[in-house]
Amino acid sequence: MMNFNGTPQQLFWQGSPRDIVFDDDSIKEKLLQTDKACYVLKDFNGRIGVSNTGNLVSEGRGLQVLAMTPPMTASQLGDPTFCNDYKLKYAYKTGAMANGIASAELVVAIGQANLLGSYGAAGQVPAKIKESIDKIQAQLPHQTYAVNLIHSPAEEALESLAVDLFLSKGVTVVEASAFLALTENIVYYRVAGLSRDENQNIVVGNRVIAKVSRKEVALPFMNAAPEEFVQSLLAKGKITPLQAELAKQVPMADDITVEADSGGHTDNRPLVALLPIIIQLRDEMQEQNAFATKIRIGAAGGISTPASALAAFMMGAAYVVTGSVNQACVEAGTSEYVRKLLQTVESTDVMAAPASDMFEMGVELQVVKRGTLFGPRAKKLYAYYMTYKSIDEIPKAEREALEQKVFKQPLEEVWQSCIAFFQERDPEQIERAKDNPHRKMALIFRWYLGLSSNWANAGTPDRVLDYQIWCGPSMGAFNDWVKGSYLENYEERKVADVAEQIMKGAAYLYRIQSLKMQGVGFSREVMSQNSILTSVRSDLNSDGTPDTSLLSIV
Ligand SMILES: Cc1cc2nc3c(=O)[nH]c(=O)nc-3n(C[C@H](O)[C@H](O)[C@H](O)COP(=O)(O)O)c2cc1C
């Protein structure tokens, strides 16, 4: 039942009394029709009800309108130009997840629902990335997809090979991440896609969605490509003089995702603090640069429920990005063991642990701590790295414990595996470690840090306690939200369906909050985000047959 504690509108409602409902189930059903306006009315008996039909008049006979909310569907959340530019149904994107956890299947499933997915190219060899791009392109002939371009300071070759591959395969959207500063590689990708159309307008052929968690990293993406890189590319004949000229007139990114406390690499900043900072910076830079098109700012980190998605949109996010929650979905390129474990994770079941790719720099990422010892073990390795200058300095008993419990082989044997690995991939790594025992130690420890996520993805049975599972607190928030619904079961979690539920739920919560701020009080049943989840998958009709309307939006 509802109550009212606000100031009534100076409006009166005229319509059929049969269209006014008073019980919770019917109120919820009316509110769920977010494509229709909703009026909260007081009838002549003093009862408070809801209708989404009828007319409003400012004078004359009619029922008192207490509060009202306009039509506002999930597709209206966020910046409409984001949806237009990428041909999307909602301003919703799934973030890349390294090692193909954001698999080709995941990107295809999201793309087929007319949402934007980003392939997890980080940590993958070029042949595997190429194979996945082929798969995605074959199955998404008309939809948009992105591929992750990850900055790779330790293995520069990987970054430039990736750009060459993207350009040769015609990948038109990259999600650029981990860039502490711009590199010639990303500038090449961006500028090589610039041209003019017949009306002399600039055409941006290669779109960049940059992911940042700091102002100083965001800034270069808000400016034009640095001149020294442009000139170098021009001198090498990689871009044309026209492209070099056009590069001055467009920013380095079309979109910037603000990454707050998230799974994987994270600065652990709260979204409510970080998002307004970057939006303000964008506004200042836009005023300064006066580019024809304004950069959009999206939000990532902690988003996995209708409430968190709505909060991001209300703070001005042009789009939202999810990560952790998608790893728990059936399309994710991880093991069933991991997906099942993720179903049980609470928001407090995550911790920071050293990152394999930037281990020496002390960079950390966020991982699951329930059911695995990876976090504490990886932290211990970093402590050894900081305390000792070589593996030979580690006290004998501790080294033996490490070899038995963590590495399950002598450290010198691990070193031989490192040599074999890098000989194929990047021989310079071994070269640089030859007379540098501290570096050798780092490479040995990175062997464990690198393989532990592969063990998790593959579900290697004898390495369960070493699984490195990147995950943020948003996973626990999702699990709490879906408790008691069909989505509680990990086998039912599908990326496009999860997206649909989050976005539709956000639109529903928008009107609930709007009415609440006008003084309407709802029962818990109507108000809570848990009550919004329908009992059937959103891609199925109530009789269980596929809902094909989702497939034909664009
Ligand atoms: C398993 C996992 C792997 C990730 N790998 C990458 C990656 O390779 N590149 C990247 O840009 N972001 C990566 N991310 C971050 C996500 O793309 C996304 O921005 C983030 O997860 C959003 O925050 P959330 O985890 O709270 O949803 C990863 C996240 C997870 C959970």
pLDDT tens-digit readout, 455-504: 999 999 999 999 999 999 999 999 999 999 999 999 999 999 999 999 99
Distance, first Cα to last Cα, the chain: 40
In this structure, of 97-106, 251-260, 429-438, the range with the lowest mean pLDDT score is 429-438
The ligand 1 atom at the shortest distance from the C-alpha of residue 101 is 1
* pLDDT at residue 290 greater than cutoff 80: yes
Full residue range of the structural domain in which residue 297 is found: 81-334
State whether 321 and 391 are in the same domain.
Answer: no
State whether 315 and 215 are in the same domain.
Answer: yes
* Binding site membership of 95 for ligand 1 (Cβ less than 6 Å): yes
Q: What is the mean predicted confidence (pLDDT) over 338-361?
A: 95
Establish if 475 belongs to a structural domain.
Answer: no
Tokens found for residue 41:
């009315």
State whether 407 and 268 are in the same domain.
Answer: no
State whether 390 and 462 are in the same domain.
Answer: yes
Q: What is the mean predicted confidence (pLDDT) over 414-434?
A: 88
State whether 236 and 317 are in the same domain.
Answer: yes
Establish if 427 belongs to a structural domain.
Answer: yes
**Considering 334, 352, 370, which residue would you say is the last residue of a domain?**
334
Is residue 166 within 8 A of residue 149, CB to CB? The reply is: yes
pLDDT value, residue 551:
38
Is residue 82 within 8 A of residue 22, CB to CB? The reply is: no
Q: Which residue lies with its CA nearest to atom 2 of ligand 1?
A: 97
Percent of the chain clearing pLDDT 70 (strictly above): 96
pLDDT value, residue 424:
77
The helix or strand, by DSSP H or E, that contains position 188, with its residue range, turns out to be helix 184-191
- Residue pLDDT, tens place only, 320-329: 999 999 999 9
* pLDDT at residue 542 greater than cutoff 80: no
Q: 133 Cβ partners below 8 Å, 6+ apart? A: 119, 147, 165, 166, 169, 171
Tokens found for residue 343:
């179903």
The ligand 1 atom at the shortest distance from the C-alpha of residue 178 is 11
CA–centroid distance, residue 31 to ligand 1 (Å)? 33
Query: Which residue did the predictor score with more confidence, 268 or 451?
Result: 451
From 505, 479, 504, select the one nearest 492 (Cα to Cα).
Answer: 479
Establish if 545 belongs to a structural domain.
Answer: no
CA–centroid distance, residue 539 to ligand 1 (Å)? 25
CA–centroid distance, residue 96 to ligand 1 (Å)? 6
Distance CA 489, CA 412 (A): 44
Tokens found for residue 394:
């580690």
State whether 330 and 219 are in the same domain.
Answer: yes
- Residue pLDDT, tens place only, 169-185: 999 999 999 998 999 99
Q: 84 Cβ partners below 8 Å, 6+ apart? A: none
* Binding site membership of 98 for ligand 1 (Cβ less than 6 Å): yes
Is residue 481 within 8 A of residue 529, CB to CB? The reply is: yes
* pLDDT at residue 303 greater than cutoff 90: yes
From 305, 237, 254, select the one nearest 505 (Cα to Cα).
Answer: 305
State whether 310 and 179 are in the same domain.
Answer: yes
Establish if 483 belongs to a structural domain.
Answer: no
pLDDT value, residue 29:
92
State whether 409 and 462 are in the same domain.
Answer: yes
Percent of the chain clearing pLDDT 90 (strictly above): 87
From 191, 206, 303, select the one nearest 248 (Cα to Cα).
Answer: 191
* Binding site membership of 365 for ligand 1 (Cβ less than 6 Å): no
Write b or e for each residue in 259-276: b if 16 or more Cβ atoms lie within 10 A of its Cβ, otherwise e: bbbbbbbbbebebeebbe
Pocket test for ligand 1, best of 147, 259, 262 (most atoms within 8 A of CB): 262
Query: Would the pTM of this model clear 0.85, i.e. be above it?
Result: yes
State whether 449 and 516 are in the same domain.
Answer: no
Distance CA 211, CA 336 (A): 29
pLDDT value, residue 546:
59
* pLDDT at residue 552 greater than cutoff 60: no
State whether 292 and 395 are in the same domain.
Answer: no
From 303, 245, 311, select the one nearest 481 (Cα to Cα).
Answer: 303
Establish if 29 belongs to a structural domain.
Answer: yes
- Bridge partner residues of 257 (DSSP): 211, 298
CATH code of the domain in which 224 resides: 3.20.20.70
Place of tokens 């008049």: 57
* Binding site membership of 177 for ligand 1 (Cβ less than 6 Å): yes
Establish if 471 belongs to a structural domain.
Answer: no
How far is C-alpha 526 from the chain's CA centre? Answer: 29
pLDDT value, residue 553:
31
- Residue pLDDT, tens place only, 63-76: 999 999 999 999 99
DSSP class of residue 487 equals G
pLDDT value, residue 94:
98
Place of tokens 């490192």: 418
pLDDT value, residue 554:
28
Establish if 143 belongs to a structural domain.
Answer: yes
Pocket test for ligand 1, best of 94, 97, 255 (most atoms within 8 A of CB): 97
The ligand 1 atom at the shortest distance from the C-alpha of residue 471 is 31
* Binding site membership of 474 for ligand 1 (Cβ less than 6 Å): yes
As for how many domains the chain has, the answer is 3
Band of pLDDT at residue 450, cut at 50, 70 and 90 = very high
pLDDT value, residue 549:
47
**Considering 334, 364, 394, which residue would you say is the last residue of a domain?**
334
Distance CA 205, CA 254 (A): 11
Distances in Å between the Cα of 103 and the Cα atoms of 89, 139, 153, 326, 473 are 21, 13, 24, 10, 22
* pLDDT at residue 248 greater than cutoff 50: yes
Q: What is the mean predicted confidence (pLDDT) over 228-238?
A: 98
State whether 177 and 310 are in the same domain.
Answer: yes
The ligand 1 atom at the shortest distance from the C-alpha of residue 177 is 11
Tokens found for residue 68:
């009202």
Is residue 466 within 8 A of residue 374, CB to CB? The reply is: yes
pLDDT value, residue 155:
77
Q: 412 Cβ partners below 8 Å, 6+ apart? A: none
Q: What is the mean predicted confidence (pLDDT) over 8-27?
A: 94
* pLDDT at residue 146 greater than cutoff 60: yes
State whether 135 and 166 are in the same domain.
Answer: yes
Pocket test for ligand 1, best of 374, 470, 502 (most atoms within 8 A of CB): 470
**Mean of the per-residue pLDDT values for the chain?**
94
From 516, 366, 544, select the one nearest 66 (Cα to Cα).
Answer: 516
Distance CA 205, CA 191 (A): 9
**Considering 413, 444, 466, which residue would you say is the last residue of a domain?**
466
The helix or strand, by DSSP H or E, that contains position 229, with its residue range, turns out to be helix 227-235
Establish if 553 belongs to a structural domain.
Answer: no
